[in-house]
Structure 1
Amino acid sequence: MPDLALSRRELLAGVTAALRAGAVPEPRREALRLWTEVLGGHSAEALLDPRHSVEPALADALLGAAERRARGEPLAHVTGVAGFRQLALHSDRRALIPRPETEGLVDLLLARVRTGRLADVGTGTGALALSLRAEGGFSAVVAVDLSTEALALAAKNRAGIGGCVELVRGDLCAPLRSAAFDALVSNPPYLSHAEYSRLDPSVRDWEPASALVGGVEGLELTARLLDDARTVLRAGGWLAVEVDCARARECARRAGALGWSDIAVHADLFGRDRYLLARRSATT
């Protein structure tokens, strides 16, 4: 148990050592992030000031967080927070942790449409719906998820941000059929069963399989979405979907076969084909 004399420098060293022992990449950097989230932000100078100590209860909390991280628990779950664009979102086992590469989907859609009615299918934490609500000028935003647990997490994030987003439980576009939308965004599950079985335990053991697996081949849910979205988008409405980089071109081919227009595949920040953009034509 740490005592009152444990300095900030000593505590930071202990946290870094625990993370290094757990083979956590960049242990020093993660130690500083844990410090900021668990104990509150301080400058680097304050962290290393040997004149200041940390209360035992706070030191225990920080070391406990480091031990959880060292056992493989995702940082976003340990801290309870995941950053996404301008937002700090609650994150836990109920939904997929928002990824940095998904942020690019927001930019691509906003470059094409910023007003009207927007739907987010498979909202999870609510990251896409809440970001687009905050950054766009949409008159209405509806977020759909099949998981009641994910919707509860999205509701918590909505309450913390204050965005006016309607949350609806349902399978893909099924709850949206009574209204026409100007844009639809989605980050659907797109891993195959085989790919899921090979996932790193840091993902497979902590994030819901329902948010990761798109079917036996991985394309099934995305294929359904490409078909269903035609029934809820207005003519000229935009579809923006995150897709698996290995299947992006096949997704584009299928979109073309369904009559979508202005089809384009865009790379993510790592240079991998990640986003499919398409527009509903008047005849789709």
Structure 2
Amino acid sequence: MSERASDPDATAVDAPATVGALVHALAALLTDAHVPQARAEARDLVAALLDQPRFWPSLHRDEPVDEAFVAQARRAAATRARGAPFAYAVGRAAFRHLTLDVDERVLIPRQETEVLVDEVLARLAGRSGGTIVDVGTGSGAIALALACEGRPDRVIATDVSLDALAVAGRNVALLRTALCAPVELRHGSLLAPVQDLGAGALRAVVSNPPYIAFAEAEQLPPSVRDWEPALALYAGNEGMACIAAIVRDAAPLLEPDGVLALEVDARRAALAAELAASDGRYTDVAVRLDLAGRERFVLATRR
């Protein structure tokens, strides 16, 4: 008896009708594409598409699956086999306690950015109300987390990409019942969409802006360089252009004691902090570390 025939799921490879058979079929597809740890990847794909814990498929091998879900799972596995990041393959990503829709129009939310939300919440502790702006919102991850966990009157999320705002809009709609504050989407570059609010209108400006220099593109992993949107990755002036613009333009919009919070990379954290410190309109400038101990977050308070 062949190894394939001895597998209890093997008879259902062509037309899987159970979770176990589907995992087996997807693992075969991923193995043919030389995806490492193909069976674990297949299990995780099924779990993510079902919005279940990652080991749920192993405990529910005999659970039936319908043809529509099988087709969806096969499409996800085929996308992963082409080299797409896992989040794009399944069309969703976890961020703090949220599950967000994502695709190639937006950056995949990272765990590091969850720390940025923690830093903002800490700086705003004990203060309710006010308006928070998330600059370059992408999927809406930061804006939605702050609207769920903070106590602002509203959160405004800006992005220069209409494609990104379409994804963010879908996530706002999906999470509407979980929000403690409304999230408003505005189209435009950086802080331009909120200039109409006037001086001192904002309690916090938060951003994970583009900060990769164009010359650094080849240093990025292929899963980032070849799949994630260039508009959200790269910035001029050796990666500092968007950072410098936000530091400059946030100051007049922030209220006294308003918070500026930026996520950058370790190569630019000190430069960003120096920009804020030398601006003269900020105090309490600080650099915070990410989960790996790298300088990653720059925070400042409006004088």
TM-score, length basis structure 2? 0.84
Q: How many residues align?
A: 278
The superposition leaves residues 37-69 of structure 1 with CA deviations (integer Å, 9 ceiling, x where unpaired) of 33564452222x5xx665566445433322220
Question: How far apart are residue 207 of structure 1 and its match?
Answer: 1.4
Three-state SS of the structure 2 residue aligned to 1:44 is helix
Q: Distance in 2 between matches of 1:149 and 1:90?
A: 13
Three-state SS of the structure 2 residue aligned to 1:215 is coil
Question: How far apart are residue 91 of structure 1 and its match?
Answer: 0.3
Match status 1:268 vs 2:301: no
Any residues of structure 2 matched to 1:187-266 within 5 Å, and which? 187-259=208-280, 260-266=282-288
Identity %: 45
Question: Quick check: 2:258–2:302 contact (8 Å CA) kept in 1?
Answer: yes
The superposition leaves residues 201-242 of structure 1 with CA deviations (integer Å, 9 ceiling, x where unpaired) of 211222110100021411111011111110210121111100
Q: Distance in 1 between matches of 2:64 and 2:132?
A: 50
Match status 1:95 vs 2:129: no
* Larger mean Cα displacement after TM superposition, 198-207 or 66-75: 198-207
Question: Quick check: 2:100–2:171 contact (8 Å CA) kept in 1?
Answer: yes
CA RMSD of aligned residues (A): 2.2
Q: Distance in 2 between matches of 1:176 and 1:6?
A: 52
Distance 1:7 1:183, change over 3 A: closer
2:167 to 153, 161, 166: 153
* Larger mean Cα displacement after TM superposition, 57-66 or 107-116: 57-66
Structure 1 gaps, min length 5? none
Question: How far apart are residue 77 of structure 1 and its match?
Answer: 1.4
Question: How far apart are residue 24 of structure 1 and its match?
Answer: 3.7
Match status 1:85 vs 2:96: yes
Any residues of structure 2 matched to 1:1-284 within 5 Å, and which? 2-4=13-15, 8-38=19-49, 41=52, 42-47=56-61, 49=62, 58-114=69-125, 115=128, 116-162=130-176, 163=179, 164-177=182-195, 178-179=197-198, 180-259=201-280, 260-281=282-303
Distance 1:56 1:233, change over 3 A: closer
Structure 2 gaps, min length 5? 1-11
Question: Quick check: 1:196–1:212 contact (8 Å CA) kept in 2?
Answer: no
Question: How far apart are residue 23 of structure 1 and its match?
Answer: 4.5
Structure 2 residue identity aligned to 1:200: P
Q: Distance in 2 between matches of 1:240 and 1:74?
A: 28
Three-state SS of the structure 2 residue aligned to 1:202 is helix
Q: Distance in 1 between matches of 2:43 and 2:155?
A: 36
Question: Quick check: 1:37–1:79 contact (8 Å CA) kept in 2?
Answer: yes
* Larger mean Cα displacement after TM superposition, 62-71 or 84-93: 62-71
Three-state SS of the structure 2 residue aligned to 1:278 is strand
Three-state SS of the structure 1 residue aligned to 2:274 is helix
Structure 1 residue identity aligned to 2:290: D
Q: Distance in 2 between matches of 1:5 and 1:82?
A: 26
Three-state SS of the structure 2 residue aligned to 1:266 is strand
Question: How far apart are residue 26 of structure 1 and its match?
Answer: 4.3
Q: Distance in 2 between matches of 1:118 and 1:7?
A: 46
Q: Distance in 1 between matches of 2:98 and 2:70?
A: 28
Question: How far apart are residue 176 of structure 1 and its match?
Answer: 1.7
TM-score, length basis structure 1? 0.89
Distance 1:53 1:149, change over 3 A: closer
Three-state SS of the structure 2 residue aligned to 1:93 is coil
The superposition leaves residues 80-120 of structure 1 with CA deviations (integer Å, 9 ceiling, x where unpaired) of 11111111111012111111111100001101115222111
Q: What is aligned with 2:6?
A: none
Question: Quick check: 2:93–2:102 contact (8 Å CA) kept in 1?
Answer: yes
Question: Quick check: 2:132–2:204 contact (8 Å CA) kept in 1?
Answer: yes
Structure 1 residue identity aligned to 2:297: Y
